[in-house]
Amino acid sequence: MIGILSFVGFTALVAIISYIATRKTDENSSDGYFLGGRSLTAGVIAGSLLLTNLSTEQIVGLNGSAYKDGLSVMAWETLAAIAMIVTAIFLLPRYLKSGLTTIPQFLANRFDVATKTITSALFLTGYVVVLLPVILYSGSVAISGMFDVPTLLNVSDSTALVICIWGIGIIGSIYAVFGGLKAVVVSDSINAIGLLAGGILIPIFGLMAIGDGSVLAGLDALMTTNPERFDSTGNPGQEVPFATIFTGMMLVQLFYWGTNQQIIQRALGAKNLAEGQKGLVLASFIKILGPLILVLPGMIAYHYFNGELASSDLAYPELVRAVLPTSLVGFFAAVLFGAILSSFNSVLNSSVTLFGIDIYKQHVNKEANERTVVKYGKIFGICLALAAMFIAPMIANAGSLFNYLQQINGIYSIPILTIIVVGYVTKRVPAIAAKIGIISGSVLYIISQFIIGPNKVSAALEAAKASGITDPAALRLVEAEAYPHFLHVMAILFTANILIMLLIGKFYPNKEAYIQTYTEQVDIQPWKHVKLVGGLITLVVICIYIYFAK
């Protein structure tokens, strides 16, 4: 009962503070609703970036990957810091100069409206079909299990799951649909504090559990028992082989932190360029510490359970159950709920923004005033949330989706990154090149990863088993050697798409060069220390890799 009361109390506190902070914001204008009135400061931008990124499929999934492969999976976290620095220095100044509300708006300015519409449709498809339902499902599994909802309400597991899905979905919709971006980022910032505090408790109690009450003794035991697991450079057959860091990994990071509407919308709402850059830099510094919450617990679980868990995805929840004092379960559940809610309402708010600005205003009602755009954006958001809540229970096994989701996202992430990069670094590449680049990139990736790749891997595994190979580690190596890693495939297609677009631009260039105009919506004077601090953070990331390299 104490756990439930602390859970409800913390959640209600976040809602009340969010309401007080946003009650004077004009939610009837596009800037007010979609970008928080372009008034966001560094602290709320950083907090919202971090919380939007974190949810149960990452907390559980990445720790499960660390349980299986060790420290090498930290690349998903530490390299994000470099991507955020690149975004702060090179991309954000261009976004704010154009006064963008959505990333596809740039594509309309640089290429044409059709390119913008295709890109918005790809974003929305990924959000609706994959991301929102997975966030709801995985979050509901965690909350239902933590509070034992089936027993509490005397219902079946499936019914309890549906109740949790609709509970999270309705609360998240209230924040995102009716509160706009500012309500989202304020709640995110509060939850960020709780998540950082609560998340760090798990490895602390875990290390104490394996170190007879001492954190330092536990860390020493962890590092000396399996020193090979503290290798920052992944091997073939693991989730993040070292070579992928220099190919597709950085492209994925740049797309996610620099061009993904769900994420970059927080920085687009900055009151000026300097605040946006400070927010990104602050978030990048905190992101370096991410492995303490998202990787270390999985490694502790491997030691604690002697690598004998039935599934690597059980690593985090089982460790929490084993080491966290009962008195803290309610607070931790509230923190986890905040992370779930944050990811859901952030994706939903970005979807509403894309629909209202890029679909409704552009194609349905070009004469619509801002109040009407916001109104129909909210209606779309409600429909989207309902669709996600109906789809979520159909997902069979959310715990195993972390790595799979990274592959699914490649359908639209790399093609979109390609046309944005070419759009900014060239002046005369035509719109037809962008359309060909984004469509060919998506189609070729689907053929590679979901038709050719699986057939190659299946044939190699059958041959290996026929020859007597049964060891799981050996089979993973066979699988890795049968077909290029999906991150390598992303890099290959990225390069190919850029070459195709440049060739089209060479033979069929636009007659007039693209010139970016300054809309003067916010001050674009950069933060004077952004390059120095960004360089130092990049150096820290490199030093971490060198220190842990075996």
| Residue-wise pLDDT tens digits, 313-346 | 778 878 887 888 877 777 777 777 777 777 776 6
413 burial via Cβ count (<10 Å: 0-12, 13-18, 19+) = buried
Q: Which band of pLDDT confidence, cut at 50, 70 and 90, is reported for residue 282?
A: very high
Q: Which two tokens stand for residue 389?
A: 């809540």
- CATH T-level assignment (fold) for domain 2-29+37-548: Sodium/glucose cotransporter (1.20.1730)
- Find the mean pLDDT for residues 1-17: 61
- The confidence score (pLDDT) of residue 23 equals 55
The Cα 366–Cα 346 span in angstroms is: 26
The Cα 67–Cα 312 span in angstroms is: 6
User: Is pLDDT larger for residue 348 or for residue 16?
Assistant: 348
Residue 398 clears pLDDT 70, i.e. is over it: no
Q: Which band of pLDDT confidence, cut at 50, 70 and 90, is reported for residue 4?
A: low
Q: Which band of pLDDT confidence, cut at 50, 70 and 90, is reported for residue 362?
A: confident
Q: List, in order, residues 6 or more apart from 437 with CB less than 8 Å away.
A: 415, 418, 419, 422, 497, 498, 500, 501
Q: What percent of the chain clears pLDDT 70, i.e. is strictly above it?
A: 86
Q: List, in order, residues 6 or more apart from 539 with CB less than 8 Å away.
A: none
pLDDT tens-digit readout, 29-74? 444 444 555 667 888 888 878 877 777 778 877 888 899 899 999 9
Residue 525 clears pLDDT 50, i.e. is over it: yes
- Find the mean pLDDT for residues 79-107: 91
pLDDT-wise least confident of 143-147, 459-463, 484-488, 522-526: 143-147
The Cα 190–Cα 186 span in angstroms is: 7
Residue of 503, 437, 384 lying closest to 133 (CA atoms):
384
DSSP state of 99: T
**CA-to-CA dists, residue 481 to 199, 208, 355, 453, 485, angstroms:** 36, 40, 42, 11, 9
Q: List, in order, residues 6 or more apart from 169 with CB less than 8 Å away.
A: 136, 344, 385, 386, 388, 389, 392
Residue 428 phi/psi, 5-degree rounding, is: -125, 0
